Amino acid sequence: MSSNTWNKSAVAALYNTPLLSLLFEAQTVHRAHFNPDEIELCSLLSIKTGACPEDCAYCPQSGHYKTGLQKEKLLDLEEVLKLAAEAKKNGATRFCMGAAWRSPSDKDLPRVINLIKGVKALGLETCVTLGMLHKGQAQQLKEAGLDFYNHNLDTSPEFYPKIISTRTYQDRLDTLSHVRAADIHVCCGGIIGMGETRDDRIELLLQLANLPTQPESVPINRLIPIPGTPLADIEHIDNIEFVRTVAVLRMMMPQSMIRLSAGRGEMSEEMQILCFMAGANSMWLGDKLLTARNSAYTQDKKLLEKLGLTPLSHRA
């Protein structure tokens, strides 16, 4: 993936393009790099749930808020492999495992490494999201055969302190650079609809697109408002503004996979189609995200069939 120097006025101009022209332009860029009738299907599993020491204002798993979530210890290998095999049978090509940690401990990392090796042996691409990593940890994960590491920037540097106080934007950039240096593919995106302005969305997109190497995979989450968190009652983001964000992202990151991530379960079929038209070409398959609900598996199967979208095979 190339490195880029997008500037704010160019991105603002894209955002201000009349919608139908913007969609056409984004589709044109999309078609130059991808088969538009293919979609990547990934599966997600929370391997360690809840009681997280971080205070991310959107998150059901933060120990700082009363969200009524049942916490769970790190799952064992057998259980994870059973669920990964099921995900593969259901059509997923990548299995992503998430842990509610600030960063993995020396005790837990070897256990996660076993999970990665086991899942990879099933013939799935592997991805984990474990919080902050230092250099040596990223290297260990690479040696275990990890394909992708997910670590999001979440929002603009300016809005970030309103959302998280327990780790800095720079901490996130540092983790991303360790992952990149270890030669693991980067999965990095953000959340739209946390009360940020369009300016903040532009700044997030600039951060993502202007990373030294663009992330191979960009999850775009629409906030799922979680009762008990500080963002429980935040005003919903306008659908068209969300679609514009996906389209602008596609124009800025022509070769990255864009995942229509959290929040898809609350979108109509038509809204999802607009996002695919705008250039999204990846989604979570399975009834559950980490702890929140995803679009139902049976419903998604029907939607893919109706749209004639076929699963993308392995890339890593």
Active site residues: 52, 56, 59, 96, 127, 187, 259
Per CB under 6 A, which of residues 6..65 are in contact with ligand SAM?
58-59
Contacting residue, 61, 103, 156, 221, with ligand SF4 by CB under 6 A:
61
Cα-trace Rg, the chain: 18
Residue 188 in contact with residue 215, Cβ under 8 Å?
A: yes
Half-sphere exposure of 138 (CA within 13 A, CB side): 22
Q: What's the closest the beta carbon of residue 310 comes to ligand SAM, in angstroms? A: 27
CA–CA dist 282, 259 (Å, integer): 4
Segment near ligand SF4 (CB under 6 A), from 23-31, 58-66, 73-81, 103-111?
58-66
Q: According to CB under 6 A, which one of 291, 295, 300, 309 is a site residue for ligand DTB?
A: 291
- C-alpha to C-alpha distance for 224 and 263, rounded to whole angstroms: 6
Binding segment for ligand SAM among 13-21, 96-104, 232-240, 301-309 (CB under 6 A)? 96-104
Among 23, 109, 226, 248, binds ligand SAM (CB under 6 A): 226
Closest to ligand SAM by CB, 23 vs 163, is 163
- Residue 81: CB partners within 8 Å, gap ≥ 6? 118, 119, 122
- The span from the CA of 130 to the CA of 151, in Å, is 8
- Which residue lies nearer to ligand DTB by CB, 39 or 224? 224
* Positions in 176-205 near ligand SAM (CB under 6 A): 191
**What values do phi and psi take at 204, rounded to 5?**
-60, -50
Size of the site for ligand SAM (CB under 6 A): 18
The DSSP 8-state label assigned to residue 128 in this structure reads E
Is residue 292 at the binding interface for ligand DTB, with CB under 6 A as the rule?
Answer: yes
Among 50, 98, 104, 131, interactor with ligand DTB by CB under 6 A: 98
Does 223 contact ligand SAM by CB under 6 A?
A: yes
Cα 196 to Cα 204: distance, rounded to the nearest angstrom? 10
On the CB side of 268, how many CA atoms lie within 13 Å of its CA? 6
Residue 145: count of CB within 10 angstroms of its CB: 14
Q: How far apart (Å, rounded) are the C-alpha atoms in residues 195 and 294? A: 22
Q: What is the 8-class DSSP label of residue 236?
A: P
Compute the least distance from the CB of residue 175 to ligand SAM, in Å.
Answer: 8
291 binds, options ligand SF4, ligand SAM, ligand DTB, none, Cβ within 5 to 8 A by partner type: ligand DTB
Q: Which stretch binds ligand SF4 (CB under 6 A): 8-16, 54-62, 77-85, 221-229?
A: 54-62
For ligand SAM, which is the closer residue by CB, 22 or 109? 109
Least separation in angstroms between residue 69's CB and ligand DTB is 8
Whether the Cβ atoms of residue 249 and residue 279 lie closer than 8 Å to each other: yes
Query: Residue 103: how many CB atoms within 10 A of its CB?
Result: 18
Q: Smallest distance, Å, CB 96 to ligand SF4?
A: 13
The answer to whether the CB of 67 falls within 8 A of the CB of 226 is yes
Question: Counting contacts by CB under 6 A, is residue 100 touching ligand SF4?
Answer: yes
Separation of alpha carbons 165 and 237, rounded Å: 23
Q: Interaction with ligand DTB in 111-150: which residues (CB under 6 A)?
A: 129, 150
Q: Site residues for ligand DTB, window 48-87 (CB under 6 A)? A: 60
Interacting residues toward ligand SAM by CB under 6 A: 58-59, 98, 100-101, 129, 131, 151-152, 154, 191, 221, 223-224, 226, 262-263, 290
